[in-house]
Amino acid sequence: MHLLVLGGTTEARRLAESLTAEKGIKVTSSLAGRVARPRLPPGEVRVGGFGGADGMAEWLRAHRVDAVIDATHPFAGTISFNAAAAAATVHVPLLALRRPGWVPSDGDRWHTTDSLAGAAELLPGLGRRVFLTTGRMGLAAFAGLDALWFLMRSVDAPDAPYPASMEVLLDRGPFTLDGERALLRRHGIDVLVTKDSGGAATAPKLLAAREAGIPVVVVRRPPVPEGVPVAGTPEDALAWLRSITGARA
Ligand code: NAP
């Protein structure tokens, strides 16, 4: 069986790792190529776009793919919709692997919104020194906020346009609670912006913000394409894969 894993996440890498032990499954992981030095999963890896849904359908056919697991980041909406369309075109089973989103706890001061533009609208009413953790893409949404100062953390350096008053912190999770507490203090942060990425690796910032009484702007996830089954963990994805392999036998 040839399985295509659409990756770029810790879960995708973990899935590829656990699949190396499975007999009779060849795994190809696909990365967009956004990160200069990605952590590569085991098995075969291809890098770069497919050329839209049609390009992916063609790739699935040409490489005789039997199943696709879309383990991309919850905010990578385009590739997920392309995968749904391509899998439907070539009649290949598709599963979305999505780590569960974060949920607020007592003491959290969350403000939710559907987009980075929505987050930018909320910010002036919430603080002046912003810890921006939404990644290096889409910073144009915050570019007009000249009265605010930004600490922007990302794996690779961002391209303009971005806010005029911005310090860039190049770093990659997992992050610790102590580290996040120190960061908020050192930079006098009074508001945090995050996507609802979920997962443990970047969650400590939420706890640090709660402890410090700092408001958090949380950008909600885009929906998973309709009709695509969802697994919350690599283990559940593996169980799905076994179920369809069994069905094929
Ligand atoms: P996106 O908006 O959904 O995708 C844009 C285009 O990038 C797609 O149409 C596709 O090009 C290509 N692409 C995306 N993921 C791909 C993959 N795994 N393999 C091959 N091509 C891929 O995605 P994005 O938000 O730019 O994110 C890009 C990648 O970074 C994703 O794989 C995602 O898992 C990872 N990532 C994203 C975020 C985030 O916040 N968005 C955070 C962490 C990691 P074609 O149309 O040419 O096929």
Query: Which one-letter amino acid corresponds to residue 21?
Result: A
2-11, 180-189, 240-249: range with lowest mean pLDDT: 240-249
Residue-wise pLDDT for 111-138, tens only, equals 999 999 999 999 999 999 999 999 999 9
* Mutate which of 15, 46, 78, 220 for ligand 1 pocket (most atoms within 8 A of beta carbon): 78
Percent of the chain predicted with pLDDT > 70: 99
51-60, 100-109, 238-247: range with lowest mean pLDDT: 238-247
Question: Does residue 98 have a pLDDT over 60?
Answer: yes
Please tell me the residue having the least CA distance from ligand 1 atom 23.
76
Question: Does residue 247 have a pLDDT over 60?
Answer: no
Question: Does residue 102 have a pLDDT over 80?
Answer: yes
Residue 9 CB–ligand 1 contact under 6 Å: yes
CATH fold label, 2-100+222-245: Rossmann fold (3.40.50)
Question: What DSSP assignment string belongs to 121-189?
Answer: HHGGGT-SEEEE-S-STTGGGGTT-TT-EEEEEESSPPPSS--SSEEEEE--S---HHHHHHHHHHTT-
Residue-wise pLDDT for 160-188, tens only, equals 999 999 999 999 999 999 999 999 999 99
pLDDT band for position 246 (cuts 50, 70, 90): confident
Residue 76 C-alpha to ligand 1 middle, in angstroms? 5
Which pTM does this prediction carry? 0.90
Question: Does residue 23 have a pLDDT over 90?
Answer: no
Question: Does residue 151 have a pLDDT over 70?
Answer: yes
Residue 28 CB–ligand 1 contact under 6 Å: no
Please tell me the residue having the least CA distance from ligand 1 atom 37.
73
Residue 34 CB–ligand 1 contact under 6 Å: yes
Pick the atom of ligand 1 nearest to 52's CA: 46
Question: Does residue 202 have a pLDDT over 60?
Answer: yes
Percent of the chain predicted with pLDDT > 90: 93
Residue 233 C-alpha to ligand 1 middle, in angstroms? 20
Please tell me the residue having the least CA distance from ligand 1 atom 24.
76
The secondary structure of the chain in percent helix, strand, coil, rounded to multiples of 5, reads: 35, 20, 45
Question: Does residue 217 have a pLDDT over 80?
Answer: yes
DSSP state of 223: P
Residue extents of the structural domains in the chain:
2-100+222-245, 110-219
* 2-100+222-245 and 110-219: identical CATH topology: yes
Query: Which one-letter amino acid corresponds to residue 126?
Result: L
Angle 77-90/52-62 helices, nearest 10 degrees?
Answer: 50
Q: E-strand spans in the chain?
A: 2-6, 26-31, 44-47, 67-70, 94-97, 110-113, 129-132, 149-154, 166-170, 191-195, 216-219, 230-231
pLDDT at residue 36 in the model = 85
HSE toward the beta carbon, residue 236, CA cutoff 13 A: 13
- For the domain covering 110-219, report its CATH number: 3.40.50
Question: Does residue 249 have a pLDDT over 50?
Answer: no
Residue 6 CB–ligand 1 contact under 6 Å: yes
Residue 145 CB–ligand 1 contact under 6 Å: no
Pick the atom of ligand 1 nearest to 8's CA: 34
pLDDT band for position 248 (cuts 50, 70, 90): low
Q: What is the mean pLDDT of residues 131-156?
A: 97
Q: What is the mean pLDDT of residues 128-157?
A: 97
The mean pLDDT of the chain is 95
Please tell me the residue having the least CA distance from ligand 1 atom 13.
32
